[in-house]
């Protein structure tokens, strides 16, 4: 719960976060220009930002657009800058470090929005989904950057596509739509995916280490999804839930 003083300051804090988010987008666009990005990159970043803003205005979550969601929105705007850079994939070779810095900020802010949501009691279904989709989009953009810049073969897209494949499969198998319990393993694997992709995009690793890192990331992600799919699949069966209740709620291992 917030104190009266904190509540009085909240409108100013919210306004400041909006301004910082807009400034972040502006700095990101100026960075693209400074790096010699083509007009298409700048235009693509602006189009993505506008589309995102219109989409969120249309959704209008019932719980309101709290401070935590504003931080996530700021992350998404910076991600639009990275997505715009895909119009000239060579930027991820010639200007790897500045773009990696933007991606690192997006990753670090992933911990900030969650902390703000818990601190201000703003944990909502919309906020969790918004945060998750930004994470998935970040992974996909980094995978596309590696592939389009010619650093890695097309198999790297499997890392970014797995989340969307799961969503597509849930349309055919309703049991996959059930909510999953909170999992440190799932969060850790997500962070490791982004970390592996950032290292792979940097000029540091050679081709051999780059491929090894990404292969390990893909294996870890596949294992994590397999654990969740198995958990969901087993709970579609009545006899599993019945036997679970008969054991007095005994914990069932994922593996």
Question: How distant, in Å, are the alpha carbons of 17, 37, 95, 113 from that of 99?
Answer: 22, 12, 7, 22
Helix or strand run (H / E) with residue 111 = helix 96-119
Residue 239 has pLDDT above 90, yes or no: no
- In this predicted structure, what is the pLDDT of residue 157? 96
Identify the pLDDT of residue 43. Answer: 95
What confidence category does residue 61 fall into, taking pLDDT thresholds of 50, 70 and 90?
A: low
What's the CA gap between 224 and 229, in Å, rounded? 9
Q: What is the pLDDT of residue 69?
A: 87
Domain assignments of the chain as residue spans, ordered by start: 4-237
pLDDT score recorded for residue 75 = 94
Residue 122 CA, chain-centre distance (Å), reads: 19
Q: How confident is the model at residue 254 (pLDDT cuts 50, 70, 90)?
A: very low
Q: In the numeric block, which tokens belong to residue 233?
A: 């699949």
**What is the four-CA torsion angle of 45, 47, 50, 56, rounded to 10 degrees?**
-90
| pLDDT tens column, 143-186 | 999 999 999 999 999 999 999 999 898 888 888 888 888 788 88
List the one residue out of 201, 174, 195 whose CA is nearest residue 82. Answer: 201
Average pLDDT, the chain: 84
Contacts of 132 (CB under 8 A, 6+ apart): none
Separation CA 4–CA 229 (nearest Å): 45
Helix 184-201 and helix 125-148, axial crossing angle in degrees, nearest 10 = 30
Q: How many residues does the chain have?
A: 255
CB atoms within 10 A of CB 113: 24
Give the whole-number percent of the chain exceeding pLDDT 70: 86
pLDDT of res. 249 = 33
Split at pLDDT 50, 70, 90, the class of 62 is: low
Gap between the Cα atoms of 194 and 212, Å rounded? 15
Q: What's the pLDDT tens digit per position in 25-57?
A: 899 999 999 999 999 999 999 999 999 988 888
CATH, range 4-237: 1.20.120
Model confidence at 122: pLDDT above 90? no
């Amino acid at each position: 719960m917030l104190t009266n003083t904190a509540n009085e300051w909240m409108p100013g804090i919210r306004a400041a976060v909006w301004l910082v988010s807009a400034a972040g987008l502006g700095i990101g666009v100026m960075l693209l220009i400074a790096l010699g990005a083509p007009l298409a990159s700048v235009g693509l970043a602006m189009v993505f930002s506008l589309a995102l803003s219109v989409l969120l205005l249309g959704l209008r979550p019932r719980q309101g657009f709290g401070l935590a969601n504003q931080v996530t929105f700021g992350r998404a705007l910076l991600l639009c800058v990275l997505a715009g850079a895909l119009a000239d994939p060579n930027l991820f070779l010639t200007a790897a470090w500045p773009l990696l810095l933007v991606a690192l900020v997006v990753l670090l802010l992933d911990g900030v929005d969650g902390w703000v949501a818990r601190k201000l009691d703003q944990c909502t279904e919309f906020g969790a989904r918004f945060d998750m989709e930004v994470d998935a989009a970040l992974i996909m953009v980094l995978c596309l950057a590696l592939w389009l810049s010619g650093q890695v073969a097309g198999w790297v897209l499997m890392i970014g596509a797995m989340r969307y494949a799961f969503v597509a499969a849930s349309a055919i198998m309703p049991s996959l739509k059930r909510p999953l319990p909170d999992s440190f393993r799932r969060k850790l694997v997500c962070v490791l995916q982004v970390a592996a992709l950032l290292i792979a995009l940097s000029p540091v690793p050679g081709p051999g280490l780059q491929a090894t890192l990404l292969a390990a990331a893909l294996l870890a992600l596949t294992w994590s999804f397999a654990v969740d799919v198995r958990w969901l699949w087993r709970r579609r069966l009545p006899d599993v839930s019945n036997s679970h209740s008969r054991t007095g709620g005994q914990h069932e291992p994922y593996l």
